[in-house]
Amino acid sequence: MEMNTDPFHRKITYLRISITDRCNLRCFYCVSADSLAPLTHRDILSYEEILVIVYAAVELGIKKVRITGGEPLIRRNVLHFIRLLCAIPGLKDVSITTNGILLKDMAGLLFDAGIRRVNISLDTLNPVKFQRITRRDRFRDVLAGISAAKEAGFSPIKLNVVAIKGINDDEIQQLARLSVHQPYTVRFIEFMPIGKKSCWHREKVITSDEIKSRLESMGSLQQVPSSVNDGPAKRYRFENAKGEIGIISPISDHFCATCNRLRLTADGKLRPCLFSDHEIDIKAPLRNGCTQDEIKKLFKKGIAEKPKQHHAGHGNNTCLRPMSKIGG
Ligand code: SAM
């Protein structure tokens, strides 16, 4: 078996790295009350430590990295870190997930640093609702950030919508329409039970089938053949649209059989599955002077210990960490 293949024959090639647990928004479904006390500078991995880990991961077969958080763009000197990350030989793809607030000023610099693909979170097109969801009045900054990303030349630009009943189910069609006149991929993601104090409830999930049928009522929705960077999204396109639709169903139709990812939390834990609190500490061994080979061993352990599938969404099954402290 190859070094990066897990016991269920999945090849692990993708690492999501959270570089901070801090955020400039307070989305009610992501930052729970117990996640408000942020980690200290000493608690989180330094950029140098993250780079050492990525060098080892690439030797094991990691080819794609996504930078996330918290809000990754608020961490100091993030552009310098990204430049170094993008220069790692063997790393074929570096992307970022952001709430877009700082993109107005940073999109061009991010592009110059080497990033080409950006995911921006946008759950609503209503500024009042935006403030209700995020507890911050930054809607216009996000819109400006999305335009700046387009200006800078990012492609694709994916707009991530977490679909929650009673919150934005009345906007699914309006959000989807963004993909018609703009070259954006609007991606609907099912609401996931994450964090012990999460406000998740099964009744709040809008399943991917429901989303699809609402979109089908808008016009002809054609399936787009999948390609390597799709991840778990099922892709669609309205006739003559400039952009695309993505539908991601971690709950109603999980895609664990093709999961190719590991997560590295800001405090240096390797997390084999988003929904499981089983983690492997890399920070302590790293700070105790472990070798590159020892980091590779920890990664192999993470790969070997990936569960066959998650059981989130059944009963009370969820993990302890809130999303903001894992890295979405
Ligand atoms: N701050 C960045 C952002 O806003 O995109 C990156 C981190 S955020 C945790 C990443 C993504 O996770 C966001 O799109 C957010 O909406 C999503 N997310 C957070 N909690 C979620 C949940 N319970 N279910 C589904 N998606 C969630």
Give the start-to-end residue ranges of the domains of the chain: 14-326
Cα separation of 325 and 328, whole Å? Answer: 9
- Supply the pTM of this predicted model: 0.96
Tally: H helices and E strands in the chain: 9, 12
- State the pLDDT at residue 117: 96
Distance 328 CA to ligand 1 centre (A): 5
Do residues 266 and 328 touch, judged by C-beta distance below 8 A? no
In DSSP terms, 235 is beta-bridged to: 246
**pLDDT on residue 319:** 83
| Confidence at 322, pLDDT banded by 50, 70, 90 | confident
Domain 14-326, CATH number (from 3.20.20.70, 3.40.190.10, 3.60.40.10, 3.10.20.30): 3.20.20.70
Q: Are 57 and 292 in contact (CB under 8 A)?
A: no
As a whole number, mean pLDDT of residues 156-163 equals 97
287 φψ region: left (φ > 0), alpha (ψ -120 to 50), beta (else): alpha
For residue 314, pLDDT over 80 is answered with no
Mutation pick for ligand 1 pocket among 121, 157, 199, 326 (CB with most ligand atoms within 8 Å): 121
What's the whole-number mean pLDDT along residues 136-147? 98
For the CA of 18, the nearest atom of ligand 1? 7
145 lines ligand 1 (CB under 6 A): no
Using the mean position of ligand 1's atoms as its centre, give its distance from the Cα of residue 319 in Å: 15
134 lines ligand 1 (CB under 6 A): no
| pLDDT band, very low/low/confident/very high, at 1 (cuts 50, 70, 90) | very low
